[in-house]
Amino acid sequence: MQLAFILYKYFPFGGLQRDFMRIALECQRRGHTIRVYAMIWEGEVPDGFEVLIAPVKALFNHTRNERFTAWVEADLARRPVDRVIGFNKMPGLDVYYAADPCFEDKAQTLRNPIYRRWGRYKHFAEYERAVFDPQAKTEILMISEVQQPLFVKHYGTQAERFHLLPPGIAADRRAPANAAAIRAEFREEFELRPDELLLVQIGSGFKTKGVDRSLKALAALPRELKQRTRLLVIGQDDPKPFKLQAKALGVSSMVEFLKGRSDIPRFLLGADLLIHPAYNENTGTVLLEALVAGLPVLVSDVCGYAHYIEDAACGCVVPSPFEQATLDQLLALTLADDEQRARWRRNALAYAETADLYSMPHKAADVILAEGK
């Protein structure tokens, strides 16, 4: 079959983007032809992919999205395909990969009522309804159990259109046989003393991921721990406001910001704790990448994948409603207890051996290709 994949932006370090790539490659591996529509593409194009970049511009994102949709629809009318798979909500999809949470629920619970009068709201509400309305035919690939009831609440979407997928952690995130050697080499490269503790926070969108909360927790550490703790923040975002915050908190010397990169497994093996106090997160793939690498995790419970940390007994989950003091206390306790972190590491690696944390691309391809028959 000829398959068309649509996403607004591709770059190698986004969770949605990596999921798209692995699903598309799995479909290609099964013998199907891949065409991709996007507005921005950063990184290499896999062999055999036809990637089309829409020449659309606009002052507002929602206007640009609408122009992009029209451009894609015109091209598909000229060159039809068997299936259209979208990674952003939009009209005309046969299959939608639900990487984003329910927009309508957030608009009603987190926004001022006047927000719903704006063009931006109308655009995103219309595009979400195009996917989830009972009259729509779009099959929905869900990666978060907590979001499905919200879509049903607001749209009355039929249960049979939802397909809950397992996580899809890449095999290269698992701790290899020489993990200890990689860790030692990494810590030498970053000049980490034997007693020094390394925190990592990984993910694009520093505000949403709660980097401000991590910096406050770092500043609240007892003096002895603070003297031997460092934080590396890795992701595609502007670090300037967070550097200013770190300076105001007096922790600038403890924090380093790095751009998104392809060698994240080294950081997961070299660190002592992943901190991820996100404000909201549909899933949180990095949590499971840390788990399968044997890295303990400190995470807020709003993340869709936070329950895996509890299931595996490999870290701490900060309950809602979030309180900074709770995060501060848990971070200090975790860093002070080497034996507890060692237990969490063993628990994580044991869980990674038996749990299905890897088959998402295969299950997603099953749905896409079955719907095409």
Over residues 128-168, the pLDDT tens digits come to: 999 999 999 999 999 988 899 999 999 999 999 999 999 99
137 and 222 share one domain: no
107 and 236 share one domain: no
The radius of gyration of the chain from alpha carbons, rounded to an integer in Å, stands at: 21
pLDDT at 244: 98
243 and 133 share one domain: no
Phi, psi of 36 (to 5 degrees): -125, 135
Distance CA(229)–CA(94), nearest Å, equals 49
Q: 314 and 348 in contact (C-beta within 8 Å)?
A: yes
95 and 10 share one domain: yes
The pLDDT tens digits for 42-75 are 999 999 999 999 999 999 999 999 999 999 999 9
The pLDDT tens digits for 166-205 are 999 988 789 999 999 999 999 999 999 999 999 999 998 9
255 and 300 share one domain: yes
* Mean pLDDT of the chain, nearest integer: 95
Distance CA(174)–CA(352), nearest Å, equals 8
161 and 189 share one domain: no
Long-range contact list for 62-65, CB < 8 A, 24+ apart? Answer: 62/119, 62/120, 62/123, 62/124, 63/119, 64/39, 65/8, 65/90, 65/123, 65/127
Domain count, the chain: 2
Distance CA(208)–CA(284), nearest Å, equals 12
284 and 230 share one domain: yes
8 and 156 share one domain: yes
pLDDT at 371: 58
231 and 148 share one domain: no
CATH assignment of the domain containing 113: 3.40.50.2000
Residue 357: helix, strand or coil by DSSP? coil
Residue 55: helix, strand or coil by DSSP? coil
Q: 162 and 140 in contact (C-beta within 8 Å)?
A: yes
364 and 236 share one domain: no
The pLDDT tens digits for 253-272 are 999 999 999 899 999 999 99
Mean pLDDT of 229-236: 96
Domain residues for the domain of 260 are 171-354
112 and 42 share one domain: yes
pLDDT tops 80 at residue 298: yes
195 and 296 share one domain: yes
pLDDT at 161: 98
- Read off the pLDDT band of 40 (50, 70, 90): very high
pLDDT tops 50 at residue 372: no
Segment holding 274, helix H or strand E: strand 273-276
